[in-house]
Copies of this chain bind each other. A is one copy, B any other.
């Protein structure tokens, strides 16, 4: 029987899933044996119908044998803007990697960063420059005279350091015994 509890669970399961959700998995998770696959399917259809009313930004679609929430295509533009804005308070894994390399090996060139990461970091370096976390610090006297990068004062402020020399050895930060000694 389709109860409020079943509907609530379906909504929660869809929300917390990446990719299509199989009906069989939902039936098994509900587990009490009182809900059949046909009933779950029926409940999903009723959720789908509800979401088709105006004022909803998502719909429920059946793909590849499963069900999933998708956002409306006409919301793509504002969503892209929104997630772009939100990303400004966040740091991607790539940006964090570049920042950690510049911090611990400065001064360092882009080719060196690329070599250590094994990936092109041009875009990420630009982002970090824009955010004022790294800065240009002259050129390296090697072929091509690549730019050298260092961390900024803003970097120090964020991490609560007075001088870059205060940056602890990475190993010390992770190991138990040294950490305790601090």
Question: A166 at the A/B interface (Cβ < 8 Å)?
Answer: yes
Complex formed: what's the CA distance from A182 to B146 in Å? 6
Complex formed: what's the CA distance from A31 to B4 in Å? 37
Q: Nearest residue in B to A30 (C-beta to C-beta)?
A: B78
Q: Is the interface of A mostly helix, strand, loop or mixed?
A: helix
The reply to whether A15 and B110 contact each other, CB–CB distance below 8 Å, is no
Give the distance to chain B from A150, nearest Cβ to Cβ, in Å: 9
Q: How many residues of A contact B (CB 8 A)?
A: 55
Integer count of this chain's copies in the complex:
2
Question: A1 at the A/B interface (Cβ < 8 Å)?
Answer: no
Q: Nearest residue in B to A150 (C-beta to C-beta)?
A: B160
The reply to whether A10 and B57 contact each other, CB–CB distance below 8 Å, is yes
Set of chain B residues within 8 Å of A119, measured between Cβ atoms: none
Question: A69 at the A/B interface (Cβ < 8 Å)?
Answer: yes
Set of chain B residues within 8 Å of A110, measured between Cβ atoms: 182
Give the distance to chain B from A9, nearest Cβ to Cβ, in Å: 5
Complex formed: what's the CA distance from A83 to B26 in Å? 9
Question: A176 at the A/B interface (Cβ < 8 Å)?
Answer: yes
> Known contacts being A126-B179, A139-B161, is A8 close to B57, with CB within 8 Å?
yes
